[in-house]
Amino acid sequence: MSQQPIQSPGPVELSIRSKLTALLQPTVLTISNDSWQHRHHAAMREQDGSNQETHFTVNVVSEQFKGKSSMQRHRMIYAALSDELAQGLHALSLKTKTPEEVPPSES
């Protein structure tokens, strides 16, 4: 299986990081650009593969999630990233937890 070449974060990834940091003040925020795995999809081909920032995995741990359901947490993130979604961000795989929900082995 081919692996993505290591590259600097692009403008969409930087925007995601900036907005989620401001909104959630996370203790953990990891963002993975998975777009390269989807370059063969029709939507990517229609863009001539020019935008390689369409699919991301986001793992975020934040106190801001306390008392919120998974759906509410995801809605917070989607609302924060509405501009990016309107401009070509196609998919987010979200893992959202409070610090208490993180097993000790992952902290």
pLDDT digits (tens, 9 = 90+) for 25-67: 999 999 999 886 655 555 555 554 455 788 899 999 999 999 9
Tokens matching residue 33:
């650009």
Region of poorest pLDDT, from 16-30, 39-53, 88-102: 39-53
* Region 68-86 average pLDDT: 97
Tokens matching residue 62:
């934040």
CA 44: distance to chain centroid?
Answer: 18
Identify the band that residue 8 occupies on the pLDDT scale cut at 50, 70 and 90.
confident
- Is 102:60 a contact under the CB 8 Å cutoff? no
Give all domains of the chain, ordered by start, each with its CATH number: 11-101 (3.30.300.90)
pLDDT of the residue at 1 = 45
